[in-house]
Amino acid sequence: MTGSTAQDLASWWGVHEFPANRWVQWEIGPLRLSVLRRPREWRIAWRSDGDRLDPVCRRSDDNVEPPTLENDDIRRYIGQGEDNRLEFVPRLADRPVVVNPDIPVFLPPGEKTTLYVSTAAWLRLAEPDGSMLTEIPVYRPSDTWFGPNTREGEIAYASRTSARTSLDELTVLHHRVITPVRIDNRGVDALLVEQLRIPVPALTLYEIEGQGLWTGTVAFTRREGDNTATLQIQDGRELPGPDPRQLAPPRVPVERNAVVHAFSRIFS
Amino acid sequence: MAFPPEWWNMEFAGLLLRALALAAAGLFAGRLLGRFLYRITRPGMGEHGAVTLRRLAFYGIVVITTMAVMRELGFSLSVLLGAAGILTVALGFASQTSASNLVSGIFLVAESPFRIGDVITVGSLTGEVLSIDLLSVKLRTFNNLYVRVPNETLIKSEITNLTRFPIRRLDLKLGVAYKEQIGRVRDLLIATADDNPLCLDHPRPLVIFQGFGESSLDLQFSVWAKRENFLAVLNSLPEAIKQTFDDNGIEIPFPHRSLYTGSVTDPFPVTLVESRPPAEDDSAPSI
């Protein structure tokens, strides 16, 4: 693809217009998304084989190489609509994400900290009247299992993280969503955080001007005397930056600021 | 013989009619109650629980109806139960296999080693459980055959339930050449699993050294996958491993044989034959 009219964009979400009978390609981080508008038909093709930390966000209208069945997932969506516009909506993962810090993190007793972890965004394609065509992960994370043993637990997505503790160290990538994780260790010994389950489907997605995609804070409080934890999900009021704008509601309805669940193995 | 016989009169006909109506009503009520229970319990209890409850309700109503019909016909229940005892002994001798299957079925339902919809292996047979009945279990094999397995066989056999737990481990046996570094092979295998999104990140993939084989270092590579993705991983992982080994020059050896004639016999005579250089006109097309 030569991309003579390729545009580098600040963000990829919103309503976009597509010319008839011509492939248009979007590069969003590791995702290559091609869209073709034909009479009463959308053709959507994608592949996600790029570098998952690639910051690219670009639209190319000309000289786009048509996708092939060998390299891409191609689907046709047929309907009666004549509208040439599609809405790109960022969404969060459809399962919880289990985050493993690169280096084991210890939190001494009585300490609190906030870690910033990022997870892959999903892209929801919908017609402006609201009818959804499909949802595509910008990057398909690996499956993982979260539970006390191989009989009880749940399937989740796995993610590696640098678990940064400072906002200044964060790199804004428009295809990843940052979640602040506040951990309060009220136990009697140091807490080893080597595996953290983020209930991503229960989080709200926000956009912060110039700082990309964020979710509300997830707060884990390790109880005194045992190894269980309570989990609280907070809204966007505590996020850095002025006036976070809500982009997508939680996939799973959750009462805000309520104790959602207590797990025996939030921390392993 | 005169027709109608002496015992046949309007009173007996009425009695018989009432008994038949009672039996029909009982069967209808049993079926209706079973269906109703199935419908309301299926969302909560699942297919297996709902079907079991439906059958229990139906058979319960059938027993009650039978007793009511007998009573209606003028039989004494105590006499009937005594006769049933004798009948059971007689039937037990006459139909040992059926009785054994019946009892095995009751034990199977109580023990519940599998449920409707599970995939099980019994002996050399693997299939999806379609129904668990009093005498037999019906399976659908993966080549779409309908197989009836008697309950007695199931009670006596080792049953493997392939779908009881949500995740499964896939064990691949493979060998690499003796010249390879086991540590490097291990790292490459783990990286191959990490690159496949269907292989679970946790529990971690495992490489177990199995021994010094005849021609290879034997390894077992174990990865975990979601139950539904097991077949996809079983198909995609060996292909990825072969590609990784090819890309990194890791040799998968075939069996080697060294011929040795022993210390007391002469070595094999070997004759070196000088290869003939190709003639100049060898490449010329023949006419």
* Chain A residues in contact with B229 (beta carbon < 8 A): 143
pLDDT at B277: 66
pLDDT at B72: 79
Q: Report the C-alpha gap between B79 and B37 in whole angstroms.
A: 34
Contact criterion met (CB < 8 Å) for A143 and B194 = no
State the nearest Cα–Cα gap between A180 and chain B, in angstroms: 23
Strand, coil or helix: what is B240? helix
With contact defined as beta carbons under 8 Å apart, do B182 and B208 qualify? no
* Chain B residues in contact with A141 (beta carbon < 8 A): 197
Q: What pLDDT digit, counting tens, does each position of B175-211 carry? A: 999 999 999 999 999 999 999 999 999 899 999 999 9
Contact criterion met (CB < 8 Å) for A140 and B201 = no
* Chain B residues in contact with A195 (beta carbon < 8 A): 202
Question: What share of chain B in percent tops pLDDT 70?
Answer: 92
CA angle (B201, A143, A86) in 5-degree steps: 145
pLDDT tier for residue B43 given thresholds of 50, 70 and 90: confident
State the nearest Cα–Cα gap between B110 and chain A, in angstroms: 22
What pTM does this model have?
Answer: 0.76
Complex ipTM > 0.85: no
Please report how the helices B96-111 and B77-94 are oriented relative to each other, as an axis angle in degrees rounded to 10. Answer: 100
Q: What pLDDT digit, counting tens, does each position of B74-99 carry? A: 777 777 777 777 877 777 677 778 77
Q: Report the C-alpha gap between A136 and A48 in whole angstroms.
A: 10
Nearest to A155 among B166, B197, B203 (CB): B166
Distance (Å) of CA B180 to CA B52, B157, B176, B177: 57, 43, 7, 6
**Chain B residue closest to A160 (CA)?**
B201
Strand, coil or helix: what is A241? coil
Interface probe for B, chosen from A142, A160, A161 (most Cβ of B below 10 Å), is A142
Q: Is B237's Cβ below 8 Å from some Cβ in A?
A: no
Q: CA dihedral in degrees (B20, B22, B23, B29; nearest 10)?
A: 140
State the nearest Cα–Cα gap between A216 and chain B, in angstroms: 26
The rounded average pLDDT for each run of 10 residues, N- to C-terminus, in chain A (268 residues) is 62 90 92 92 91 88 86 90 90 92 87 90 90 92 89 89 80 89 87 85 90 90 75 79 85 59 41
Contact criterion met (CB < 8 Å) for B167 and A155 = yes
Residue found under tokens 């011929």: B259
**Chain B residue closest to A151 (CA)?**
B165
Mean pLDDT of chain B: 85
Q: Which of B152-166, B222-236, B260-274 has the lowest mean pLDDT?
A: B260-274
State the nearest Cα–Cα gap between A155 and chain B, in angstroms: 7
